């Protein structure tokens, strides 16, 4: 993919925003004590996303990061 910041390359990169993209990661962590909170830090998020976690680890909610 050409660098979208050079010349008129941005036009040739529009197809990227017209697609739905999924990034899947698996990780292990130690269980937290009952009632405790934990932070999930994402370094690869650009713009809007939805973060899905197993219902038993996220209280059954979908988490949204912006």
The tens place of each residue's pLDDT in the chain, 66 residues long, gives 889 899 999 999 888 888 888 888 888 888 878 888 777 777 777 667 777 777 666 544 445 555
In the chain, how many domains are there?
Answer: 1
Would residue 29 count as lying in a domain?
Answer: yes
Please tell me whether the overall predicted TM-score, pTM, comes out greater than 0.75 for this model.
Answer: no
Whole domain around residue 54: which residue ranges? 22-66
What pLDDT is recorded for position 56? 62
Would residue 35 count as lying in a domain?
Answer: yes
What pLDDT is recorded for position 62? 46
Would residue 4 count as lying in a domain?
Answer: no
Distance CA 6, CA 13 (A): 11
Would residue 5 count as lying in a domain?
Answer: no
Answer whether 49's CB lies under 8 Å from 43's CB. Answer: no
What pLDDT is recorded for position 43? 78
């Amino acid at each position: 993919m050409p660098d979208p910041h050079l010349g008129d390359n941005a036009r040739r990169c529009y197809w990227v925003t017209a697609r739905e993209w999924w990034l899947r990661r698996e990780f292990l962590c130690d269980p937290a004590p009952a009632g405790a909170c934990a932070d999930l830090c994402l370094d690869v998020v650009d713009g809007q996303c939805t973060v899905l976690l197993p219902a038993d680890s996220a209280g059954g909610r979908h988490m949204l990061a912006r």
